[in-house]
Amino acid sequence: MIIPFDKIPKESRVWIYQSNRKFSEKEITEITNKLKKFLENWTAHGSDLFCSFTIKYNRFIVIALNEKSNKATGCSIDSCVHFIQELERQYSVDLLDKMNVAFKQGEFISYKSLIEFKKLVKSNSVSKNTIVFNNLVTDVLDFNTNWEVPAYKSWHSRFFL
């Protein structure tokens, strides 16, 4: 069962899938419809999962799951990963590669490999105050407060030592 993202409990678990490129408006519409269809049928051992999603900056797919009623199981998580892999194939994007960093440069979002990001740090092209996307957040509250943060407040801080 899909719940509006702003209504899902703050302790709901989140998964963030970061795209290596911005989606077009047409792709956003298609992906939104595919997400709705997948999540309406998402279950754990035959029980409905109370979940939600949002797409941020036409680049980040965020799925939330209220585990108070039913917890995600290995099979339900696998089905979600398979769904995301299918989106990767259909739209020729990377959504599961965790070895990349997304960060703001003015109004734009840059996407770089960790190696490239480290080089930008060394050349002072990004600073500890650069807004980064901390995709390691674990729940909706964490997402709302610690997802878009200065680099020094996230795991990215280790690159500024």
Domain definitions of the chain by residue range:
5-91, 100-160
* Token couple for 132: 């980064």
Give pLDDT tens digits for 40-74: 988 777 777 899 999 999 999 999 999 887 788 78
CB 65 within 8 A of CB 38: no
| CA–CA distance, 41 with 28 (Å, rounded to integer) | 20
Around Cβ 95, how many Cβ atoms within 10 Å?
18
Considering the entire predicted model, what is its pTM? 0.94
Alpha helices in 41-106 (DSSP H): 74-91
Instruction: Judge contact between 36 and 61, C-beta under 8 A.
Output: no
Question: DSSP label at 17?
Answer: E
